Amino acid sequence: MKKDPYHDKESIDELLKQYHNLRNGQKSIFFEEEAFEKIIDYFDDQEDLSKALEAAETAIEYYPYSGSLLIRKADLLLATRKYNEALRVLEKAELFDATDINLYILKTDAYLAMDMQEKAVALLEQAVHFFEGEEKVELLFELADVYDDYEEFDKVFDCLKVILECDPTNDEALYKICFWTDFTGRNEESIKLHLKIIDDHPFNEIAWFNLAAAYQGLKLYEKAIDAYQYALAIDEKFDYAYRNIGDAYIRLRKYKDAIEALEKVLELSKPEEVIYEAIGHCYDRMKNFAQARFHYRKASHLNPDDSKLFYKIACTYYNEGQWASAVKQLESALKIQRLQPEYNLLMGECKLQLTEYKEAVQYLSTAVRVRPKNVSGWEALIRCLYTAGFFPEGRQQALAALSHTNNKAVFFYYLSAILFAMNKTKEALLYLEKALSVSPKHLKKFVQLNPSILQNPLVVDLIAQYKRSR
């Protein structure tokens, strides 16, 4: 039967009238404790804390041994930041009723407000032993929140674990422990806990999901997928299970299966940038660059400020040799993040392919300036200078690269190639010899820079001599 709001209003109006008469000295009026509580609640709902507190004090005059009224007063004192006074009232309330859970929750709030975390923790740890069932669970959630606030994250996990040992199907605890398992890395414990829950409650899809997530945390992707499949058998619309299965398949390089799972996510929930991007990534890995672009663009429409998506589209064009199309996408990416090294590096490579050497040098120079210890940036810049025939600049940058990268062998090879191009044969042979002694495996990069170098008998002899000495 529905409540009649008009009748309720009449009832509270009558109570308020009687309460005001009582306050004005009409002592003949009798007020039950419950009536006082309604008056306090009314003023509290109206956010008139001073009148609510006044009503609580009046009620306590008539019912001085009521633990619940004292607790109500303490709650109002906390709301007005009178923490010490609230604690004194709660100490008094405890004498009359030590079994009210609100007593411990409000004391905890007071201690935390006064930055007395140790007292809050000690109180709740003690109180947990006084209660059973739902009240114990409520206090454990409070304790978990305190640990969270003070960054004792392993203890948050411990609290949630105890809650699930008391109440294995508690949805709030199941949802929370999934996050804290990942955060604390306590996957093995989570697996044991959830296997036990599943033994007793085999149709709990959240427990199956948490088990799968813990397997995934240990990189046991096949086991994770199996557990997610059980969760989906119970709830076929569990979109987060499909999302995580997609991730697990990507880790296993099973891109077709990943796409199938991620497309299911799009069916079940609103479109998300991250899902379209993940599908694009799968097509990218399968070298289906047109489909990869299609999904990256879908992601970009949802988040046009994400420069990374323009970069990924550019990469698909680059992989197809469509340099001009890649440049257009990179221009969009660089408008958002002008100094991003990867964007400048790829733009430089595109400009190099388009034989726009001066622009290529500018972009590649930006890449190495922003990230001077990055080997690939220096390699691209020196290759560009060599290809463009800017040999003096190439020599200078090769020396700079050696300085910034702790003498990486590849730059001895590049320096040698540049010196050969400048007809400085003696010096070039010295650097080639040094390069061979440091890292023979990079010889192919030397040859790639100028394959005709192998027609030089001095180079061939030096390589042969090095191989014989090995």
Give the amino acid at 233.
Answer: A
What is the predicted pLDDT for the residue at 33?
81
Q: Considering only CA atoms, which of 49, 110, 126 is closest in space to residue 78?
A: 110
Domain count, the chain: 2
List of residues 6+ apart from 309 with CB closer than 8 A: 273, 277, 296, 297, 299, 300, 303
What is the predicted pLDDT for the residue at 2?
43
Domain limits for position 469: 419-470
Q: Which of 214, 249, 284 corresponds to the end of one domain?
A: 249
Q: Which of 224, 249, 274 corresponds to the end of one domain?
A: 249
Q: Is residue 174 part of a domain?
A: no
CATH number at residue 232: 1.25.40.10
Cα 203 to its chain centre, rounded Å, is: 29
Q: Considering only CA atoms, which of 98, 145, 156, 87 is closest in space to residue 117?
A: 145
Full-model pTM: 0.80
What is the predicted pLDDT for the residue at 67?
80
CA pair distance 124, 285, nearest whole angstrom: 52
Give the amino acid at 397.
Answer: Q
Q: Is residue 327 part of a domain?
A: no
With beta carbons less than 8 A apart as the criterion, state whether 75 and 41 touch: no
Grouping H, G, I as helix, E, B as strand and the rest as coil, residue 203 is coil
Q: Is residue 347 part of a domain?
A: no
Q: Is residue 434 part of a domain?
A: yes
Q: Is residue 220 part of a domain?
A: yes
Cα 104 to Cα 93, 97, 126, 167, 227, distances in angstroms: 11, 11, 10, 21, 40
Q: Is residue 218 part of a domain?
A: yes
Residue segments in the chain with a per-residue pLDDT below the cut of 70: 1-10, 25-29, 470
Query: 461 burial class (0-12, 13-18, 19+ CB within 10 angstroms)?
Result: exposed
What is the predicted pLDDT for the residue at 209?
98
How many Cα atoms are found within 13 Å in the side-chain-facing hemisphere of 41?
9
What is the predicted pLDDT for the residue at 140?
94
Q: Which of 229, 249, 269 corresponds to the end of one domain?
A: 249
Q: What confidence tens digit (pLDDT) does each residue in 139-198 have?
A: 999 999 999 988 999 999 999 999 999 999 999 999 999 999 999 999 999 999 999 999
Cα 80 to Cα 44, 83, 103, 110, distances in angstroms: 12, 8, 17, 11
Q: Is residue 447 part of a domain?
A: yes
CA pair distance 202, 341, nearest whole angstrom: 51
Q: Is residue 145 part of a domain?
A: no
